[in-house]
Amino acid sequence: MTTPSESPVITITGIVTPFDWELDDSIKAVVIASPDETDYIVREPWAVRRLLPFLDRPVCAEGVVTGLEPLGQRLALRRVKALADLDPETVDLSLRWPPRCDGTEAVGRQAGAVRDPM
């Protein structure tokens, strides 16, 4: 099996939505739902906190797929960028495929140089 350090960095666009909750109703996991109908699940607490301001908003994200879950792929988030004031109800994310995340903000402890997959 490929380890996260050997896995390629992927770039995705999608809408951030809650995925899993704690008993106190706080969000403990989010999903980035991409236009190709793949769900990328983010569970790391620091990454979830970083994505909370983007709930129900389109984003461009970079990360590494670290495993599979029954409802999607687990993503180790590296970078994220809001897709500038786009209305998630009307934006056609497929027009941005494959996206370029120029100027993304590095997040968390995994921040650093990320290969451009283009």
What architecture is domain 9-89? Beta Barrel (2.40)
In this predicted structure, what is the pLDDT of residue 85? 56
In this predicted structure, what is the pLDDT of residue 86? 53
Q: How many beta carbons lie within 10 A of that of residue 11, not counting itself?
A: 21
pLDDT by residue (tens digit) across 58-83? 898 999 999 998 899 999 998 888 88
In this predicted structure, what is the pLDDT of residue 87? 53
Asked if 97 and 35 touch (Cβ cutoff 8 Å), the reply is yes
Both structure tokens of 64: 């590494």
Spatial CA neighbour of 54 closest among 81, 36, 73, 28: 81
Residue 18 pLDDT more than 80?
A: yes
- What does the pLDDT average to over 97-112? 45
In this predicted structure, what is the pLDDT of residue 117? 35
- DSSP β-bridge partners for residue 15: 33, 58
Higher pLDDT among residues 118 and 91, named by residue: 91
Q: Tell me the pLDDT band of 45, cut-offs 50, 70 and 90.
A: very high
Phi then psi for residue 31, to 5 deg, are -125, 140
Burial class of residue 35 in the structure, from the number of CB atoms within 10 Å of its CB (0-12 exposed, 13-18 middle, 19+ buried)? middle
Q: Tell me the pLDDT band of 89, cut-offs 50, 70 and 90.
A: low
Residues 6+ apart with CB under 8 A from 20: 27, 28, 29, 43
In the chain, where the domains are located? 9-89
Q: Tell me the pLDDT band of 51, cut-offs 50, 70 and 90.
A: very high
Asked if 44 and 77 touch (Cβ cutoff 8 Å), the reply is yes
Both structure tokens of 111: 């921040």
